[in-house]
Amino acid sequence: MTGPEKTPTGLDRGLTDELVRTIRAELREELREQTRKQRRTATLYAASGTAALYAGAALALGLGLVIALGLPAWAAALIMAAVLGVTAFLLRNAARPKPAPDAGDTTVPGAGALPEPGGAVPAPPVTPPGGLDAPAPPPMPPTVPAPKSPRAER
């Protein structure tokens, strides 16, 4: 350190305050512009989703009416409910994130799952949790110790 810091004089303080106000105003205007664009995009996505919902409902109604030409109306409604339920299930499963495979896992999925000629199923290869270069975890005890009863302590 070269010495005590100087306190800003009136001129320095005025310039600093003006610079801070200018930067804040520019940032505020930039954020308003970005928010305006994002609001428009979100509104268009919401309108698109609403239109798709009504289109799907009209399609389901049309298919139900076609099925009702050959079957009673209640059977057509049950068939359409089942079709829509299966579709919802498949779409939900497609939307779920898939677990990423471990980068250190070099085992082939399903390898060693077939029984050997002797009839015993081989155990899967043991890979340490941290990968092949990680130290092996400490051995586990063969049994879990029994909890102590409160009367034994007396």
Query: In 3-state terms, what secondary structure has residue 111?
Result: coil
Distance CA 57, CA 60 (A): 5
Give dist(CA 138, CA 146) in Å, integer.
21
Tokens for 23?
Answer: 């930067």
Query: Cα 105 to the chain's mean position, in Å?
Result: 22
Give the pLDDT score at 26. Answer: 92
Q: How far apart are alpha carbons 139 and 136 in whole angstroms?
A: 9
Q: pLDDT tens, position by position, for the chain (154 residues)?
A: 455 566 656 668 888 888 899 999 999 999 998 888 888 888 888 899 889 989 989 999 999 999 999 999 889 889 988 988 888 888 888 888 777 766 555 555 555 555 555 555 556 666 655 566 667 767 777 776 677 766 655 5
Q: Which residues contact 127 (CB under 8 A, 6 or more apart)?
A: 104, 105, 106, 107
Specify the pLDDT at position 69.
93
- Residue 99 pLDDT: 77
How many other CB atoms are there within 10 angstroms of residue 80's CB atom?
A: 17
Distant-in-sequence, close-in-space partners of 126: CB < 8 Å, separation ≥ 6: none
Q: Residue 119: its pLDDT value, please?
A: 58
pLDDT for res 28: 92
